[in-house]
Structure formats: structure tokens, C-alpha cells
Chains A and B, each alone.
Chain A
Amino acid sequence: MEWFSASEIARAVAAGERDAVAVADAALSRIATLNKKLNAFTDIAAVRARAKAKALDEAREQGKALGPLAGVPFAVKNLFDIAGVPTRAGSKINRGHPPAARDATLIQRLEAAGAVLIGGLNMGEYAYDFTGENVHDGASRNPHDLSRMSGGSSGGSGSAVGGGLVPLALGSDTNGSIRVPSSFCGIFGLKPTYGRLSRAGTFPFVTSLDHLGPFARNVKDLALAYDAMQGPDPGDPVCAARPAQPALAELERGVDGLRIAVAGGYFRKGASAEAMEAVERVASALDVRREIEIPEAERARSAAYVITATEGAALHLDRLRKRASDFDPAVRDRLIAGALVPAALVNLAQKFRRWYRHHVLELFREVDVILAPATPCTAPMIGQQTFMLGGVETPLRPNIGVYTQPISFIGLPVVAAPVPLKPLPIAVQIIAAPWREDAALRVAAALERAGVAATSAPRL
């Protein structure tokens, strides 16, 4: 069952060809075997999963309709509230919190569609991370090479889906934390429009920039999960009061009528040969020849960096006062620095954000989709401190997100589509205008049909 897609599992369970309990047991068995290698899971909800699966099997026996994700095992980054479990958010400090009283909204919605929660996933502390390393829980590992990073901060989500432990996972993306693990682990990830999916019941990082979204091994599963999670939620003041716009039915439409361009300028500077090859393969498959420049992308990345450092510091200020030595030092020192940044610079960053949004939205009058690298390189080694960016040795941790930050800064929807280069995969960002996840998913589906974007099974 390890490489079965969510849609195949749901069909088999709904048809009675396979029991949901057997599916959950198979996932739990694979986790028991492989989590020692991947370190993807931090919490395993075996009792809960079997109870939910049993209820699904009983419902089917009674002739009740099952949801579109019937029996599909899934897992969530451990900043999602899971009822009865402390929400650790990758930290030592928060694991001392009382257990969550209820599930996060997105868990509730996936389970309402028939999915079965299997557990919580490893992540970088407080989501301030691009590596997937965690000083408290150990690094989650890349399924294609266990000595390499899974990517952060949703590293466990990347390991779990890329390693075949579950077909579906959820993560968060503030500056690239869905797109980076998708790229390093070679899986599909969707960072929807800012405000599209409810963040209620998750531990925040930078509320100005926080998004949640799904990971999967194919585009259909990504759309299935995305559709099941859409809709307003008064529990998250940022969640838009707009009706769901299902994307699954759009996938077969192909790319006809979509105007697509490759991002030039900033997005070509510094990228490794692998990153550029992935973009070229995707552009070639789509017959895209147009190149556009996203104005002031480098400054946008700078502004996102400032807002992240300062809002993150504000969130953790009291913990920095009282329990500084309990933080991951790499996170603590950045948060302390963020607390000291003058407010005038933060205000200017937020003003620039509006300017930048206006000018990027102007671009979307001319194009529907923009292609850009997701990461400047394939997965680095765990523990690696520097890498070559544009021929210059550069600190690794803060710079893995150079291409993702200017996009999430203004909340644009993005599908990270993996290109299975050898020996390591790397993803391309398929970027659309706000609320046009459908366009990005259509392009990803077309690339998948063409065999250009795909998840390859690792040998574990």
C-alpha cells in the first residue's frame, strides 16, 4: 500500500475492496519499520486511527456514503492541534503545554471527508527553519538520501510523503516551508492563497505570512485534499469569507488558454545548474518562451525577512525572557536579533509589501502563471552550514528560501512541482494570481501527464 495514491485508496475503501482498518494498519506498520530511518513522525495516533478506520468500515457496511478521502491515512506537521496531544510546534517548551482540546480545523475537514489521521510530524523549531533539522527531535531525513536534509520547516511532512509512509500530509508555509520540503523530497506541495485555508487550531509563526497546505505524491491527491479543506472559518480572522472553489474538476482542462511565462532576473541569479535545468524542462514541456521580470523581487525577499524576524520575535518575546536556554540556539539567536530591529524598518517593510503586491498583480494582467525555481539547489547534507549561491559561499539556513520568499510575501498561490532529476529531485514553483489555485494545479497536472513532473519512489 505504500505507494498507493490517496484517490486509489479512497476508491478501494468506498468499493469495499479494502478495509479502512487494513489500510491504517499497513500505514502504521510501514511507519514502525521506516520511521527509524526517516524520523518523520513525532507522534503516532494508532488507537485513534484504528477507531476512525473501524467507524468508516462500519459505515460502509451500513450502506452509508463515504467521503472522497475515505480511509486515506494522513499526518500533520506537529504545529497542528491534535486533540489529546500537546502541540509542540517543534519546540521543547511547548511540549509541556496541556494537550489540545480539539483538532485543528483542517484536520476536522479532512476527517469529515473520510481521511484517517495517523499522527504528528517532525518540524523545525517554531517553523523558523528551511532545513528540517531539529535539535530536540533530531532531523527528519530525505527519503532519497538519508544523509541529506528533508527541507524545512515542514520536514517531517516531506519525509513522510516522499518516503511512502502516508499518501497525504499537511504543513505550513510562512516563507517556503511547504515548497522547500517538496523540492528536496521530490513531492507535490500546494501553498494556497493567503487566507484561503483556515489556520485555526495551529501554532502560529508570523501571522502576516502564515499559510497552511497539503503535500501529496500526485496532483489529483493534492486537489482532493485542497478541495476538502476549503471554506470560511470564523476561527481564523485571516481566512477569507469566500465560498469554496473546487479545483479537482479543473485538472483535466489542460493548459489551453493559460498564458505562462518564466520569471527572469532575480530568479535566474544564483540558481544551481539543477534548479535551472528543472525550470527549462518545465518551460520546454509547456512550450513557454516568454520571460518576465517580477519587479523588486530581491527587495521583497528582504522585506519578508524583516517582517519574519520581528513578528517571530514578538510572538516569542516572553519565552525568550523566561526560557531562552530551552530554544534551539539557531532559532533563539535569530529571534533575539529580531526583537532588536527598529519598528520603523518593519513599518516600511509592510508599506513596501503593498507597493509590491500592486505591481506584481499588474503582471497578472499579462500572464496567468509564472514559473520559477523552488530552491536554489537540491537537498544539502544534514548539518551543512554554507552553500554556493551564485558562485559565492553563503550561509545556508537563511538563504534556502531566496526564491520562495518573494512569492509568499504577497500570498500568491503556488504549486511546487517536483522534477525527478538524478540523483536528487528539485521542484519548480508554478505561481498564479491570488485565488487562482486552479490555474497552478492545471499546469502541474499537465506537467504530470507529460511525465516532466513526478514523484519517484525512493529505495528505503
Chain B
Amino acid sequence: MMRRPKQQKARKSGRKRTSQRKKPARSSRDPLDDFIVAGARALNLAIDPAWMAAVRGHLKVTLGLGLKVAAFALPDEAEPAPVFEA
């Protein structure tokens, strides 16, 4: 399982944020990374961190192509190509 970067503990004090405060590590991550980590965890798939960039790249391409298909207007009654025969 891919490890998440350690999160900084949220401060309980009501002090205002200062410009010197470090940004959370997550902000430098690609937003898709959280999806990949959660999806891999749900599927019990281990992803070596070294594979992450390639997996992210392939997923971006596939999602982009899938969304291109999803943008095509089909009627609600459209049947998928494989039709089960009882």
C-alpha cells in the first residue's frame, strides 16, 4: 500500500496563521494521487512509490479519454454493447 505523507497535526490554538507557517505536504501532490491511494487501498493493490508517476500518467490519459466518451449524449434507453442472454 502506498504510504500517505505524514500530515501535520492541526493546531488547536486559535492563533492566526502566519506567512511563515509551513504549507501541508499534500499541497504539492497531484490531486489524483489521493484518488490513486484510496482506490488502490480499496482494491488491496500495493503501489510502490516509484510506480506512482507512471500510474498517474496512464490514469490521467484513460480518464481523459473516458470523459470524452462520457461527453457524448446518449439516450437513457441506450443499451451497452454486450447484452446478456438468459
Contact = CB atoms under 8 A, between A and B. Distances in A.
A350 B43 contact: no
**Majority secondary structure of chain B interface residues (helix, strand, loop or mixed):** helix
A328 B4 CA distance: 26
A83 interface: no
B74 A340 contact: no
B74 A351 contact: yes
A302 B69 contact: yes
A320 B68 CA distance: 28
A296 interface: yes
Contacts of B55: 333, 336-337, 340
Interface string A337-351: 111111011111111
Contacts of A340: 35-36, 39-40, 43, 55, 59
Contacts of B40: 336, 340
A351 B78 contact: yes
Given A321-B45, A332-B51, A340-B36, A302 B81 contact: no
A345 B35 contact: no
B65 to A, nearest CB: 4
Nearest to B59: A337
B1 to A, nearest CB: 11
Contacts of B82: 208, 350
Interface stretch (A263-271, A303-311, A366-374, A438-446): A303-311
Contacts of A298: 68
A350 B72 CA distance: 12
Interface of A: 208, 296, 298-299, 302-303, 305-306, 309, 317, 320-321, 324-325, 329, 332-334, 336-342, 344-355, 357, 398
26 contacts: A296-B72, A299-B72, A305-B65, A306-B65, A306-B66, A309-B58, A317-B45, A324-B48, A329-B51, A333-B55, A334-B58, A336-B40, A336-B45, A336-B47, A337-B62, A338-B62, A339-B39, A340-B36, A340-B55, A345-B63, A348-B66, A349-B69, A350-B81, A351-B79, A351-B80, A398-B61
